Every structure is written in C-alpha cells, then in structure tokens.
C-alpha cells in the first residue's frame, strides 16, 4: 500500500465534477445511481436484495459490510465492485449520501490502494481510515451539491440545500459550513467554469424563482415587485411546502400565445394581434398614459406570462386579464381547491373500499378455516 499523509480534496472534487460533466448533468437534485450506468465492473445493490440473494438476514449483511449505512465491496480476482446500501434507512437523503460516498471510494480506488475487500476501521489504521473517509465525503459533497454551482445561486440556507439536493438536514448543514468556509478563504464564482455553463438554465431558474405568500403561485422573474396572479407585494424567494398552478395560455419564446386566446386560431406567426379576430396574442402590461393631445407619454408594456393578471413590475393589469381572457384569481383558487378536495375524497373512497374488501376476504378465510375444523372434527368422530 502506498503511503498517504493527507486527504487529496482537490482530486476528490475533480472526480465528482468530471462524473457530472461526462453525464451532462445540468440540474439538481442529482440522480446519483444513474451516473454509474456506464461502469461495467460496478453493481449497486440494497442490503435487502443482497440478504435475499445470499440467504442472510439484514443484520448479518450489516456485520458483513461493517456498517449500518453501506460499503464498497471489491473482488480483486475479478476486478469487480459492488456498492451495498441499507434500504431500510427511512431518510432518502441519507441513502443518497451513502451511495455517493461509496461511489467516491470506487472512483478514487481506495480499495485498490489499500488492497482491501472492504474498507473498515478494523482493517485500516485510524489515520488511513480517516483520510479515505474524508476524501469520500468530499466526493459526495461535490457530487450532490457542487460548490461551483452553489456559488452561482442566490443566498440560501440548509433547508434550501436539503430541498434542492434531496439531502438530509444534517448533511445540508455540514455542506453549508464547508461552503461558507470556502468563501471566507476566498473561493469565488468562475463564470467560465464548464459545470456552471452546464447548469446555466437551472441557475437562472433558481435565481429568479419566487412564490406569492397570498395566492401561493410560483413564478420566475428578475426582481419582481408584485405577484403576477393576485398583485400582492408579499412575495418570497423561498418556496413553501405547497404551491398553486393557475390556468393560462402556452406561449412561445417571444411571449406570443401558441393559439389565439379568443378564437383558438393556430396560425400564429408574427405580430401582436390575431389575424382572424384581432385579439391580443401577447400578454403585456397595459399600463399606458396619454397626454391631453392623445400622445403616449408612459408605457410599461412588459411582456407577461400566459397566466399573469398583473405586471410583476408595476402591478397594472395585463392585456389578457383586462380583455377578460383570464378570470379572477380567486375563482381559479376555489376551483383548484375543490378539485384537490375531490381527489382526496376519491382517494379516501378507494382506501375504504380496499379495507372493506380485505375485511371481507379475511372473514371468508375464517369461515373456510372454521368449516375445515368442523369437517375434521366430524371425520374424527
């Protein structure tokens, strides 16, 4: 085994970034298991499946792996790897971290460096074990929450990281500590970073993502002053647990409706008005003021989303809303809530029906058992 004096964090980070770039990953959360599909000598398997295949209990698999979380198993004679992870752990974020951590051991070739089938405290010195665990943690951190991408995002906290990256709060808190330490040490955003370019659309979306605290709509705009659906000024850059989707019209990249909102004409090529009925086909802010001579002196004309009732900059009505093409948001809100309640009631009805059928089946089984007991008793008499 070669002598290693300290962890090589740069190597671990670059290995994670290379894996992301090779798979053209461009958004969070990272679908970690899909990244390994090209590795022919690696298999990822759950503790439950491994136990079933080898006639073992889960507790025996934990002893075999030397961990309740997971391990990277190396069969030197065949040069094959197997990552085992405990699928009985309820926290998805912990499971994702474990898999990423073990992929780190695999790509950084820790088993081959140490000539060990499984890396464990008992098979390595405390110093060696600590170095390899730190490198694998650095790899997992860089893979699931790449620092170069985080540097391009607006201010966030551990809860945001947990949602964006699908990680546990504990892992997100630790990642945030490392991230802030890096900033203190002078790490800054590199706009020419290849990973940042890959994540460009995701970064833009996250940096322009807002939610109205009143009507719960989620929308994407740069520095909005008003909610485009209900005109509320109470908007937040952080998303709540629930959100609403309000009906509107599909638009092209120029903000032009794909179909006329009024006559449903599909032949939309250019211009701002439908060539059939003359209706607006671009939803704009209708904030216009004219002087006494009728000359236009103020015009916002900001292009709005297909479901926007109001301008996100000045709060004035949009052309679609003013012309009656969009209904009051409260009507939509009530309709959505009614639909959600109806779906919940239908799901509850299905659950009740399943329970009724299961109870009926159990009663039938009990009657059958009773009949069999009675028949045996009669035959024995």
Q: Would you state the pLDDT for residue 378?
A: 75
Q: What is the pLDDT of residue 175?
A: 97
Cα–Cα distance between 180 and 124 in angstroms, integer?
A: 32
Express each pLDDT in 48-107 by its tens digit.
Answer: 999 999 999 999 999 999 999 999 999 999 999 999 999 999 999 999 999 999 999 999
Residue 376's pLDDT is 79
CATH fold of 9-184 = Arc Repressor Mutant, subunit A (1.10.10)
70 vs 82: CA distance, rounded Å: 10
Q: Give me the pLDDT at residue 348, please.
A: 77
**Any residues with CB less than 8 A from the CB of 84 and at least 6 apart, and which?**
45, 46, 47, 50, 61, 65, 70, 71, 73, 102
pTM of the model: 0.79
pLDDT the model gives residue 370? 77
pLDDT beneath 50, residues of the chain: none
Dist CA 7 CA 128 (whole Å): 9
Query: Which pLDDT score, from 0 to 100, does residue 228 have?
Result: 97
Tokens encoding 56: 């073992």
3-state secondary structure the chain: CCCCCCCCHHHHHHHHHHHHHHCCCCCCCCCHHHHHCCCCCEEEEEHHHHHHHCCCCHHHHHHHHCCCCEEEEEECCCCEEEEEECCCCCCHHHHHHHHHHHHHHHHCCHHHHHCCCECCCCCCCHHHHHHHHHHHHHHHHHHHCCHHHHCCCCCCCHHHHHHHHCCCHHHHHHHHHHHHHHHHCCCCCCCCCHHHHHCHHHHHHHHCEEEECCCCEEEECCCCCCCCCCCCCCEECCCCCCCECCCCCCECCCCEECCCCCCCCCCCCCCCECCCCCCECECEECCEEECCCCCEEEECCCECCCCCCECCCCCCEEHHHHCCCCCCHHHHHHHHHHHHHHHHHHHHHHHHHHHHHHHHHHHHHHHHHHHHHHHHHHHHC
What is the number of other CB atoms lying within 10 angstroms of the CB of residue 87?
15
Alpha carbon distance 139, 17 (integer Å) = 9
Q: What are phi and psi of 25, to 5 degrees?
A: -75, 135
Q: pLDDT at position 242, please?
A: 82
Tokens of 55: 């006639």
Percentage of residues in the chain having pLDDT higher than 70: 96
């Amino acid at each position: 085994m070669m002598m290693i004096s300290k962890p090589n964090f740069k190597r671990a980070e670059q290995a994670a970034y290379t894996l992301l770039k090779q798979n053209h990953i461009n958004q969070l959360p990272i679908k970690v298991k899909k990244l390994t599909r090209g590795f022919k000598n690696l298999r990822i398997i759950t503790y439950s499946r491994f136990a079933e295949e080898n006639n073992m209990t889960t507790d025996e698999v934990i002893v075999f792996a030397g961990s309740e979380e997971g391990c990277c198993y190396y069969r030197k004679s065949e040069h094959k790897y197997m990552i085992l992870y405990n699928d009985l752990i309820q926290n998805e974020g912990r499971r994702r971290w474990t898999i990423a951590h073990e992929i780190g051991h695999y790509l950084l070739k820790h088993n081959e460096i140490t000539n060990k089938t499984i890396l464990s405290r008992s098979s390595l010195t405390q110093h060696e074990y600590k170095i390899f665990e730190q490198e694998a943690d650095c790899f997992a951190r860089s893979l699931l929450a790449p620092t170069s991408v985080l540097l391009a995002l607006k201010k966030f906290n551990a809860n945001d990281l947990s949602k964006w990256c699908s990680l546990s709060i504990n892992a997100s808190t630790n990642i945030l500590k490392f991230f802030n330490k890096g900033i203190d040490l002078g790490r800054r955003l590199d706009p020419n970073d290849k990973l940042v370019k890959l994540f460009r659309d995701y970064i833009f979306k996250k940096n322009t993502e807002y939610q109205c605290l009143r009507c719960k709509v989620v929308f994407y705009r740069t520095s909005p002053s008003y909610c485009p659906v209900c005109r509320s000024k109470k908007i937040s850059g952080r998303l709540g647990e629930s959100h609403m989707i309000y009906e509107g019209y599909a638009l092209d990249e120029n903000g032009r409706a794909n179909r006329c909102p009024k006559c449903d004409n599909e032949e939309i090529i250019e211009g701002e008005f439908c060539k059939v009925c003359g209706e607006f086909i671009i939803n704009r802010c209708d904030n216009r003021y004219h002087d006494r001579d009728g000359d236009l002196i103020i015009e916002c004309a900001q292009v709005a989303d297909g479901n926007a009732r109001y301008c996100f900059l000045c709060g004035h009505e949009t052309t679609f809303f003013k012309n009656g093409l969009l209904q009051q948001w409260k009507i939509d809100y009530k309709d959505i809530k009614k639909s959600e309640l109806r779906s919940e009631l239908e799901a509850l009805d299905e659950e009740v029906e399943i329970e009724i059928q299961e109870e009926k089946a159990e009663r039938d089984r009990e009657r059958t058992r009773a009949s069999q007991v009675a028949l045996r008793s009669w035959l024995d008499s």
